[in-house]
């Protein structure tokens, strides 16, 4: 068994698992469902607020063939 940092092991894998950013998640999910996304997004904030995690989940949802 390999060691994995807890922050990576329990990182959210979809929009439903993201906590504390409901307004951002809802805006992104609505944009995906309505096929009205911007060309670029700029995620800003202090360390640990979920910028990278949100970007990863957004990229996964844009590249998947099924739903969000």
Name the residue ranges covered by the structural domains of the chain: 6-63
CA pair distance 56, 47, nearest whole angstrom: 16
Question: Which pLDDT belongs to residue 68?
Answer: 58
Fold of 6-63: Rossmann fold (3.40.50)
CA distances (Å), origin 15, targets 11, 42, 47: 11, 18, 20
pTM here? 0.84
Question: Which pLDDT belongs to residue 26?
Answer: 96
Question: Which pLDDT belongs to residue 19?
Answer: 93
What tens digit of pLDDT does each residue of 15-34 get?
A: 999 999 999 999 999 999 99
């Amino acid at each position: 068994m390999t060691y994995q940092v807890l922050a990576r092991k329990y990182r959210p894998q979809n929009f439903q698992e993201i906590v504390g950013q409901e307004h951002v998640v809802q805006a992104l999910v609505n944009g995906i469902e309505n096929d009205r996304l911007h060309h670029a997004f700029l995620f800003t904030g202090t360390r640990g607020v979920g910028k990278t995690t949100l970007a990863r989940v957004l990229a996964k949802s844009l590249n998947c063939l099924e739903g969000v």
